[in-house]
Amino acid sequence: MHNETSSSRIMRRLTTLFPSEFLEEHAEELGVVERDRKLQIPVFVWAFVFGFAAGERRTLAGFRRSYNSTADEPISPGGFYQRLTPTLAEYFRDLVEHGLDEVAVPDTVDVDIDRFSDVMIADGTVLRLHEFLADQFEARHEEQAGAKLHLLHNATEQTIERIDVTDEKAHDSTLFKTGSWLENRLVLFDLAYFKYRRFARIDENGGSFVSRLKQNANPVITDELREWRGRAIPLRASNSVMCSTISTGRTSMWKSKSSSSAGRTTGRGRWIRSGSASSASATRTPTTTIYT
């Protein structure tokens, strides 16, 4: 039910950012559509976003089927494929830039973020290739080929500082190199980069990071930095939320959700500080975000 609500919210947000009139007018400006209007641009765009771009396996035939399933008039394979032109690529690029311009708020930087010289984002994505390229780009599954694109994005300057292309089997973590470039920078990454030694190296180089915690990680909660209204349950060790910590030599920040010993979920998060401490058992491991 939660996923359905989230999906509906995303679709509503996207259709607000990109109303049908805007999609059609810009398509006409670039010459993407013909005068006979056989191609329904709004249907085409949403078929691409929700029916083709989402998911691991993507084929042009699947893209066409997704379009035909919702369009008023289906398009033949030949008629569909001839519309996949450089002009169409430019059209989609314009849509991405429009969306970024609409949601970006560069003048509202929080003071906690403003203290960093740059905010960096490290991530990787899989590019599905034709199976004939399997020898050069080995995939995780047989009879497939896949490349992985690794990016280090400077969100502050809106530039790409590092780009690597490997086969699909290469782990994201192996492409992230620590060093002096981390000084006074905040790095955001997902669990693919989760490694205690990496966290320590970032700290040693004067950097900071934001990451989710693995389910088996047990930080010791030593202090609460933010109070919430309502019946929020305290997160101190006295409430049996004692866990082990990650010690990097500096104070860390944690955002956690906790439950009572009776199993009642509060549904409220709190900012808490974690310092160096020894390991201890926990009745429940909180869902946590690190911010050092």
Residues 6 and 98 in one domain: yes
Give the per-residue pLDDT at 186: 94
Domain edge (last residue) among 72, 103, 134? 103
Average confidence (pLDDT) over 157-173: 90
Residue 236: inside a domain, yes or no?
yes
Cα–Cα dist 177/187, whole Å: 12
Query: Please, are residues 222 and 273 in contact by the beta-carbon 8 Å criterion?
Result: yes
The rounded Cα 151 to chain-centroid distance in angstroms is 12
Q: In the predicted model, is pLDDT for residue 68 greater than 50?
A: yes
Residue 277: inside a domain, yes or no?
yes
- Higher pLDDT: 128 or 6? It is 128
Give the per-residue pLDDT at 215: 86
Give the per-residue pLDDT at 161: 92
- Higher pLDDT: 231 or 261? It is 231
Tokens encoding 44: 């085409």
Residues 246 and 168 in one domain: no
Q: What is the pLDDT of residues 127-147, one digit of tens each?
A: 888 888 988 898 888 888 999
Select, from the ranges 33-42, 47-56, 162-171, the one with the highest average predicted confidence (pLDDT). 162-171
Q: In the predicted model, is pLDDT for residue 254 greater than 90?
A: no
Residues 24 and 90 in one domain: yes
Residues 53 and 119 in one domain: no
Task: Name the pLDDT band for 231 (thresholds 50, 70, 90).
Answer: confident
Residue 191: inside a domain, yes or no?
no
* Listed range (16-30, 35-49, 115-129, 168-182) with the worst mean pLDDT: 35-49
Residues 250 and 220 in one domain: yes
Domain edge (last residue) among 103, 132, 151? 103
Cα–Cα dist 241/254, whole Å: 13
Average pLDDT, the chain: 75
In the chain, the N- to C-terminal Cα span, in Å, equals 34
Residue 199: inside a domain, yes or no?
no
Give the per-residue pLDDT at 225: 67
* Listed range (9-23, 232-246, 259-273) with the worst mean pLDDT: 259-273
Task: Name the pLDDT band for 235 (thresholds 50, 70, 90).
Answer: low
Percent of the chain with pLDDT over 90: 28
Q: What is the pLDDT of residues 190-207, one digit of tens each?
A: 999 999 899 999 999 999
Q: In the predicted model, is pLDDT for residue 237 greater than 50?
A: no
Range of the domain at 233: 213-291
Residues 162 and 126 in one domain: yes
Tokens encoding 59: 């084929």
Residue 260: inside a domain, yes or no?
yes
Long-range contacts: 88-91, Cβ < 8 Å, 24+?
Answer: 88/32, 90/30, 91/26, 91/27, 91/30, 91/32
Residues 222 and 272 in one domain: yes
Is 0.75 topped by the overall pTM? no
Average confidence (pLDDT) over 54-71: 80
Count of domains observed in the chain: 3
Residue 169: inside a domain, yes or no?
yes
Residue 192: inside a domain, yes or no?
no
Residue 196: inside a domain, yes or no?
no
Q: What is the pLDDT of residues 209-223, one digit of tens each?
A: 988 888 888 877 777
